[in-house]
Each structure stands twice: as structure tokens, then as C-alpha cells.
Structure 1
Amino acid sequence: MRPLAQNDGTWLGSIVDGVVGLMDVIGPYGAGLAIALENVFPPIPSEVILPTAGLAAGRGAFALWEAILWTTVGSVVGALALYGLGALLGADRLRRAADRIPLVSGEDVNKTVAWFDKHGGRAVFFGRFVPGIRSLISIPAGIVRMPIGKFLLLTGSGSMLWNTLFVLLGWFLGERWHVIEPYLGVVENVVLAVIVIAVVWFVVVRVRAARASR
């Protein structure tokens, strides 16, 4: 059987080759490991890893249910690592750190904690569908010490939906799964642009407020 992917000389091709290599060696567990790393290191795109796992399942390398199961396990393990980081930092440490950062204060941490206490469940679940956010959302969940059972349920269910969608894309599209990459890239770029605009807006508002207070 010929390789699932060939390196086209790009960083994305290198990532695909690495994931394929993991799956060649340890089967669906390799896809799960890659997704766990994607949660901790967001530049690794799950939108590429998951269809590759679906393609491998379609070729008979392992069962479709194994691809979905182990990529979801990988998502939960990666999310738990970031949850633990948030719990380790804690709100008090973040408040002290925020007071030392320009344009930020401990009160911002208080507001974030209050918001997460109110909307955290929805944020954790729906955050699994947003590039970048699906990794970072686990940190505030750890900071506010969201009950671990609730966190696992929301993270696991959201991750399973997301993973199933892209694994099935790879399964049904087969060798043609890469045709959707340009569209996925557009969606990710739009999301990242919105995040950048929000950050810039935050900085501008805080700078103006600081000048006005003087």
C-alpha cells in the first residue's frame, strides 16, 4: 500500500508525514497522540490530522470507530493538561501577575472568572469547534476549578463531534480529502483575524482609558 501522504516541502506536509509515520507505527493511537499534542501546541492543525486518520481508516489500516475513539481520547488528554496548568496557576497568582502587566489589572482576572463561572459550560463545549480557542479554553476552566466530571463531559462530547466530522471527511473523500484544505484555511484565517482585531481593540481602549485617567 502506497503512503497516505507525501511531503510537498511545506511545514504542513511535514506535519502530515509525521502523523502518518505515527499511525504506521502505532496505529490509531498515533492519531490520538498527534491530537493531544495539537491541543497543547495549536499550530499543529487538527483539520489535517483528523482527515488523515479517516483516510487511513478508509484504507483498512484500522477501524473507523478506532480513529474517532482515539482522536477523542487525545483531545481530552491534551485538554486535561491545559486544565491542570490553569489549576496550578490559580486565580490569585494571575491577579498578582496581571497587576504587573501594562494595560491589565487584577480586576480583569476577577471579571474573567465571574464570566466563566456564568458561561463556562457553554464556553468549554462550543470552544471545541473554534481553532485556537479549543486549546486555550481549558486554562480558565482549570483556573476556576470547574468540576472535573463536568469538564470531561463537555470536552469529550464537543471533541467527539468535531473529530467525527473531520474523520468522516477523510473517510468519504479518500485521496481527495485535501480539496477542502483551502476552505478550512479561509475559515481559520477569519477566526484568527477576529481574535487579532479583538486584541487590538482591547489595547486601544485600555491606552485611551489610561491617558484619560492622567
Structure 2
Amino acid sequence: MNVKEFILDYLAYFGIGGLLLSSLVEALGVPFFPGGIMVILAGFLVARGYMTFPAALLATCTGFITGSALAYLLGVKLGGQVFELGGRLLKVTPARLAKARAYLGYSAPGFVVFGRFIPGISNLTPYLAGVGQLNPALFLALTGLFAVCWATLYLALGVFFEKSWAEVTGRLQPFLLLGGLLGLGLYLYLIGRRKKVGGC
């Protein structure tokens, strides 16, 4: 049995509850956990009638927001220790940790949204938002926005490309990375420009 079949069997057996749990684990940033792939494959099951799109979307968003909130609270409680623990537990290099810390210090809201698309940093996003004491309501609002967009996109891809999953997943990641980097760059540019204008 290959990975695709194993995940499909898991999702078909546990249904909406399994999808919710998978999304929660994905949001916690567990290394090498195929959360995105699982959401896409859940779209396969939607296409096959095992679950409805609204139910799958609600489960994915609920799990992701809950996992992100737990990670945020850990960041608040642990503070700077997150940077040390993150390197060991989440397999993030010191250089990437330093880059994440710089992004967070410059623009926490932009980091919460666009940092999710950057490999090696995405795992730490909610933890670092907690470390940076980002307003909880703002964090949840931004996380909810990301979760809805992410879940809708991945489920829709699964529904639409049910029979060509390998090609889709292989081509998807570079575009998401590029989009995340461009979005973060644009956001930081606008923030910097606003500060420059305000300082004149």
C-alpha cells in the first residue's frame, strides 16, 4: 500500500474527525507531517461522495485554527525558549530561526499570513506570533483568513484533480512558495514605505 492509499483509507475510515485531527497536527508544525497532501486527498473523497465540501472545509479550518491557537499559547508561555526548542524539535536551522525572528520583529501580521508559505519557517509561525505577543484577536483573525483560503484551495484542487494527484502536488509547492515570498516581500515593502513617508 502506497502513501496515497494509506491516507485515503485513513480519511475514509475516520471521516471528518480524522481530517480535523490531521489539520490540527499540521498547524502545530510537526516535521514531515503531510497535512497539505491530506487535505488535497480529502478533496478526492469529497469528489467521490464520502463527505461534503462544506463539512470538509469546516473540519479543516477548525482543526487548523485550534492547532495554531495551541502553538500560539505555547509561544506566549515559553517566550524566547521557542527559538531553542524549535531548532531541536522542529528541525529548523539556526539561520532560518534568525530569519524568522527578523521577519517577526519587522511585521508580525505579515509574518502570520505569508510566513506559512515559506518552508522551514512555516512550522514556527504560530509559536513566534506568541513569542512576539501579537494581539490574540488579530492572530486568530489572520489565522482564520489563512485557514479558509488554504483549506478551500487544497480541497478544491483535490476535487478537481482527483485522477492526477501526483502531478498536482508536484507542481503546487513551487507556486505556493513563490506566492508566499512575493506576498511577504510586497507586504514588507508597503510597511517600509509607509514608515518612510510617516517619518518625513
TM over 0.5: yes
The structure-2 alpha-carbon separation of the partners of 1:76 and 1:146, relative to structure 1 and needing over 3 Å to count, comes to same
Deviation sequence 1:124-147 (CA, Å, 0-9, x none): 011233344332111111112212
The structure-2 alpha-carbon separation of the partners of 1:185 and 1:112, relative to structure 1 and needing over 3 Å to count, comes to closer
Secondary structure at 2:133 match in 1: coil
- Separation in 2, partners of 1:136, 1:67: 25
Deviation at 1:21, TM superposition (A): 3.7
- Match of 2:13? 25
Between 1:179-188 and 1:78-87, the stretch displaced more is 179-188
Q: Gapped runs of 5+ residues in structure 1?
A: 1-6, 98-103, 195-214
- Separation in 2, partners of 1:39, 1:32: 11
Please identify the structure whose Cα radius of gyration is greater: 1
Deviation sequence 1:101-134 (CA, Å, 0-9, x none): xxx9xxx8xx948x63540001101123334433
**In the TM superposition, what are the counterparts of 1:1-214 in structure 2 within 5 Å?**
7-8=1-2, 13=3, 16-40=4-28, 41-91=30-80, 112=101, 116=104, 118-184=106-172
The structure-2 alpha-carbon separation of the partners of 1:94 and 1:163, relative to structure 1 and needing over 3 Å to count, comes to closer
User: What is the TM-score with the length of structure 1 in the denominator?
Assistant: 0.65
- Separation in 1, partners of 2:82, 2:53: 42
How many matched pairs?
A: 167
The structure-2 alpha-carbon separation of the partners of 1:168 and 1:18, relative to structure 1 and needing over 3 Å to count, comes to same
Deviation at 1:161, TM superposition (A): 0.9
Task: Give the aligned residue type for 1:37.
Answer: V
Deviation at 1:185, TM superposition (A): 5.9
The structure-2 alpha-carbon separation of the partners of 1:131 and 1:78, relative to structure 1 and needing over 3 Å to count, comes to farther
Secondary structure at 2:107 match in 1: helix
- Aligned residues of 1:22 and 1:31 also touching (Cα < 8 A): no
Q: What value does the CA root-mean-square deviation take over the aligned residues?
A: 3.2
Deviation at 1:18, TM superposition (A): 4.8
Deviation at 1:54, TM superposition (A): 0.5
- Separation in 1, partners of 2:167, 2:82: 43
Identity %: 27
Deviation sequence 1:139-180 (CA, Å, 0-9, x none): 111112212111111011112212211110110111222222
- Aligned residues of 2:41 and 2:158 also touching (Cα < 8 A): yes
Deviation at 1:24, TM superposition (A): 2.4
Secondary structure at 1:127 match in 2: helix
Task: Give the aligned residue type for 1:69.
Answer: L
